[in-house]
Amino acid sequence: MKKNDPLSTENEIVQDYDSDQQEFSFEEMELSPELMQAIEKMGFTDPTGVQARTILPMLDWHDIIAKAPTGTGKTTAFGIPALEHLEINEQGIQVLILAPTRELAIQIGEEMTELAAYMSHVRIAVVYGGRSIGNQIEEVRHKPQIMVATPGRLIDLMKRNVVHLGAVHTVILDEADRMLDMGFVRDVRYVLDKMPKVSQIAMFSATMSRSVMDISWIYQREPVEIVVEASDENKPQIDQFQIVANGAERLKATVKLIEQNSFEKVMVFCNTKYMTEAVARKLKKAGVKAESIHGDINQSMREKVIKGFRNGNISVLVCTDVAARGIDVEGVEAVINYEIPNENEHYTHRIGRTGRAGRKGVAYTFTSPVHQVRLESIIRYTRTEMELLEI
Ligand code: ADP
Ligand code: MG
């Protein structure tokens, strides 16, 4: 049912979304049995806050602008309505999901595939840069109804006349703030201007930046705004420690932390590519299953490493802030800030890799007297405690 379809008034669930704060269980959303089955298989019993508030208005074809902290289940929040919107007999791409990075695009593709596990007719294509365009052209030939894409590669495929967006009715911009911050404003606008049949634009973001508001203003019609604040419930439970150590002491301390706690999934953050490689090398020498990823490592290698980390073959992932963007590996037990981040925001992003989906995590930050000012700034910014740990 399209937004302007007169039939939609027949819909039993007519909501006044402005009177807001209404939350619905999965049952109350009256989802198709195939989706309910998938949700159950994924182990989701109750919707998260953002899911409880976005799914219904999205099903009703409203434009959406949703702000919610990371790890609150935004992917499923848009994945469910996107799948419900598909019309089996229609030709062409119906749903377009834009993501800022390849890792995120891949992850969204995986979660959508899980959600669509019992919908045999659904085909999902994931296209992103850094991979041979030939393979991705092949994917498009399989006539997907859903496309997950990074903006650059998508435009490339559009210009080669491989991808046509004429039939798209649902557009989702995931991590809209980051996408627009990364300089994709023109690309996003180029894509949005090429879709004559769009009935719904949904933007998901951790923050409401100026550029997010601009795109909303230009392209959305009376969007339903959903703001989920970080509450104690969805705020990740992360114990934070500072450890005074520098130079080689940090390596010993890292190995000790891993051994003493029997950690099997740890992310170690450094500020430079060079440092990630050096730390991974030294950890390997010390007998730790470590690998590094950073911007200069080619795509297939990065994917291999992330996969290894996900399935447990690699227990320590050493990375830069850029390389870690959008990676959501389940069950990261600890984050170690081998080097204190230069930006306060990076600290939040780094430690947010652990303690996801209601699980407890732990974060360690190495400091030395010269880093005291930086450290205090982070503590003020995050308004949290960072206990001093001696090892
Ligand atoms: P966000 O995009 O908001 O950062 P994600 O969509 O990546 O969050 O979801 C974070 C984690 O929460 C994922 O591992 C996902 O499988 C899980 N998750 C999503 N929805 C639910 C739910 N309703 N119940 C339990 N876990 C969920
Ligand atoms: Mg997300």
Please list the residue range(s) of the chain that carry CATH number 3.40.50.300: 27-227, 237-388
- Joined together, the tokens standing for residue 16 give 């006044």
Output helix, strand, coil percentages for the chain, rounded to the nearest 5. 40, 15, 40
Task: Tell me if 85 sits within 8 A of 169, measured CB to CB.
Answer: yes
Evaluate: CB of 54 within 6 angstroms of ligand 1: no
Question: To the nearest whole percent, how much of the chain has pLDDT over 90?
Answer: 64
CATH number at 237-388? 3.40.50.300
Evaluate: CB of 236 within 6 angstroms of ligand 1: no
Task: Tell me if 117 sits within 8 A of 39, measured CB to CB.
Answer: no
Residue 22 pLDDT grade (very low, low, confident, very high; cuts 50, 70, 90): low
> Which-ligand-closest: CA of 356?
1
Q: What's the chain's average pLDDT?
A: 88
Evaluate: CB of 75 within 6 angstroms of ligand 1: yes
Question: pLDDT (tens digit, 9 = 90+) per residue, 185-201?
Answer: 999 999 999 999 999 99
Cα of 204 to ligand 2 centre, how many Å? Answer: 8
**pLDDT, position 232:** 61
Cα of 174 to ligand 2 centre, how many Å? Answer: 7
Helix axes 299-311, 102-115, angle to 10 degrees: 50
Tokens 């939609």 -> residue: 8
Residue 326 pLDDT grade (very low, low, confident, very high; cuts 50, 70, 90): low
Residue 56 pLDDT grade (very low, low, confident, very high; cuts 50, 70, 90): very high
Q: Which atom of ligand 1 is nearest to the CA of 51?
A: 23
**43-71 b/e (C-beta count within 10 Å ≥ 16 → b):** ebeebbbbbbbbbbbbbbbbbbbbbbbbb
Class for the domain spanning 27-227? alpha beta
Distances (CA, A) of 128 to 103, 148, 264, 340: 9, 8, 30, 31
Minimal-distance CA residue to ligand 1 atom 20: 73
Evaluate: CB of 44 within 6 angstroms of ligand 1: yes
Q: Among 118-122, 244-248, 250-254, which is the least confidently predicted range?
A: 244-248
Question: pLDDT (tens digit, 9 = 90+) per residue, 233-251?
Answer: 666 688 999 999 988 899 9
Cα of 328 to ligand 1 centre, how many Å? Answer: 9
> Which-ligand-closest: CA of 77?
1
DSSP of 310-362: HHTS--EEEE-HHHHTT---TT--EEEESS--SSHHHHHHHHTTSS-TT-EEE
